[in-house]
Amino acid sequence: MKYSSHTLKIVILFLILISLVNIIILLSAT
């Protein structure tokens, strides 16, 4: 079950990346 925690970490990092991109887009829009 190593891949479970590894995949979870990747998903969390991916969500953080999307959040940062959304923040940058919102800041650029204003």
What is the per-residue pLDDT across 1-30, written as a single tens digit (0 to 9) for each?
566 788 899 999 999 999 999 999 999 987
Residue 15 confidence (pLDDT): 98
DSSP string, 1-30: -HHHHHHHHHHHHHHHHHHHHHHHHHHHH-
21: domain range?
Answer: 1-29
Kindly report the number of other CB atoms within 10 A of residue 15's CB atom: 10
Tally of domains within the chain: 1
CA distances from 6 to 2, 16, 17 (A): 6, 16, 17
**What is the distance between the alpha carbons of residues 8 and 1, in angstroms, rounded to a whole number?**
11
Residue 1 confidence (pLDDT): 55
**What is the distance between the alpha carbons of residues 30 and 25, in angstroms, rounded to a whole number?**
9
